[in-house]
Amino acid sequence: MQFHRSYTRAVEALEQLTTDMPEIEIVQSGVDIAQTATSSRIAYLHYLNDDQNTIELGVWSHDTRAGCNAVYDRHYPITSAGIWADSVRYRKPCVHNDYAGVATRHGLPDGHARLIRHLGLPVIDGGAICMLIGVGNKDTDYDDDDVATLDMVAKRIWSVTRQRRVLTRLLDLEQRFRHVQRIASVSGLEYDVDEDALFLDDMFSPIFLTQHSTETPTNLHELLGFVATADHEHVRKALSGTTMERRVLEIGCRRASGEAFPARLKVESRPRAIGRGIVCVGILQDVSEELAVEELRQHADIDPLTDLPNRNRLHELFNQGLGRRGKRDAFAFHYIDLDDFKPVNDSCGHLVGDEVLRVVAQRLQQVVRKDDLLVRMGGDEFAIVQTGLESVAGAQVMADKIIATISQPIHALGVVVRVGASIGINICDSHDIPLKDVSAAADRALYQAKAAGGRRFIFSARLSEPG
């Protein structure tokens, strides 16, 4: 019961970690949560460098810093680290409940607090260890519950940290794009339809990389020389002056160097100021950077392994109503955790484990309906928001399908493995309930399903018949 309460409090605290926070605040808060959730007296979080041979020492819980003089070190060799870094060496959680009694315990950083008991584990992403988290000096021995809690905390910290890094890159790219757009990405144009006379301003040259002013098009035929053949007819129609409405076209263009790039043509037609005839005015814009920004924005919301929406996208869509049909449209939140997945990673390797996660994601996509939302929460956890729920029986049918499809043998890189699924289900009759409350209730039910042996679903205690 105490573990259950600690686990629930940790889940609630972790929900407060968001990409709106600076990275240092994310990891500092996460380390403090790890210490509290495991009833420890000290806690730390360090990054593994890309060489996988050195550790970036840098983040300790507030309580640890109060009694520890360890200093930041960007390249602390793993070979110099003691048994506290065994989780990196063995790529799995390591517990030392008699730290002082281990003869090979050498290698604490200078000024580090004395260790009595210790639990450390790695966070692995894409086959590489990205982070090392540890807690120490609990009054009693660390056990499997502590390992599970720390693992959950670590995965959440890394998930939010990784998304924050992507968003930071996105914001930087957006700022640079706006700068480029102001300086060199838009060329103004004016086209006299009757005279077939085209004027393009001086920005044409830096966009299309022409070397001489004589290369700048002066009529429609010359302009089409810089446009992809498939878009010639679209450009002709846009510059024909047959409609006074504004026209916007996404077209392919070619620089003088031969490089293809996406462009946007915006055109409006108006009568000539003097005499008869039509003049088209508009802009030709290089949108390469804009599309790159949009692609990066989408990647920030997509899990790179399974191509499913991630937790960040879940928050966004949940706030938008998730396909509600009425003010009290009921939905079921299925919190899914794979059974027997860890032995797959341990015995077959993480490449096989990653392939299993991809296959599971594909199978779950076959289960959900068009209006439902399937999300990878992180690690081997998924969530399905089943919308438009008319009865509890509908959620039961969905859960049965999930368990059945996941339990089928999986062929992964020449290895046949079997995993199962435990599901915690929270049924809600209103979209006004905060996501953190919805997911926390489902997570508690999931824990009960795991504790009961797995491969089953359990409804949250908040269950009520829709309608």
Instruction: For 245-289, write each residue's pLDDT tens digit.
Output: 889 999 999 999 999 999 999 999 988 877 788 899 998 998 887
Three-state DSSP state, 245 = coil
Position 181 confidence tier, pLDDT thresholds 50, 70, 90: very low
Q: What percent of the chain has pLDDT over 90?
A: 47
Stretch among 151-165, 312-326, 350-364 having the lowest mean pLDDT: 312-326
Three-state DSSP state, 212 = coil
Instruction: For 123-149, write each residue's pLDDT tens digit.
Output: 998 889 999 999 999 999 999 999 999
Q: What pLDDT does 82 receive?
A: 84
Reported pTM = 0.43
Judge whether 199 and 54 are in contact, CB under 8 Å: no
pLDDT exceeds 80 at position 38: yes
Stretch among 174-178, 245-249, 453-457 having the lowest mean pLDDT: 174-178
From the CA atom positions of the chain, what is the Rg in Å?
29
CATH of domain 304-459: 3.30.70.270
Q: Which CATH number fits domain 186-286: 2.170.190.11, 3.30.450.20, 3.40.250.10, 3.40.50.300?
A: 3.30.450.20
**Strand pairing class (330-339; 420-428):** antiparallel
Q: What pLDDT does 350 receive?
A: 86
Q: What pLDDT does 112 receive?
A: 72
Specify the higher pLDDT residue, 110 or 80: 80
Burial class from Cβ neighbours inside 10 Å (0-12, 13-18, 19+) for residue 215 reads middle
pLDDT exceeds 60 at position 184: no
Average pLDDT over residues 22-28: 88
Q: What pLDDT does 2 receive?
A: 55
For 307, left (φ over 0), alpha (ψ -120 to 50), or beta?
Answer: left
Three-state DSSP state, 448 = helix
Average pLDDT over residues 62-78: 80
Please state, in angstroms and as integers, the Cα–Cα distance from residue 29 to each residue in 2, 147, 261, following that order.
Answer: 22, 19, 44
Q: What pLDDT does 95 receive?
A: 94
- Domain ranges in the chain are 2-163, 186-286, 304-459
Q: What pLDDT does 335 receive?
A: 96
Q: Which residues, 6+ apart, have CB-to-CB distance to 130 below 8 Å?
A: 47, 48, 123, 124, 158
CA angle 143, 146, 147 (to 5 degrees): 90
Three-state DSSP state, 39 = coil
2-163 shares its CATH topology with 186-286: yes
Concatenate the DSSP letters of all residues of 126-153 into one string: TTEEEEEEEEE--SS---HHHHHHHHHH
pLDDT exceeds 80 at position 108: no
Q: Which CATH number fits domain 2-163: 3.40.190.10, 3.40.50.410, 3.30.450.40, 3.90.79.10?
A: 3.30.450.40
User: Among 436, 458, 315, 309, which residue's Cα sits nearest to residue 378?
Assistant: 309
pLDDT exceeds 80 at position 6: no
Judge whether 73 and 119 are in contact, CB under 8 Å: no
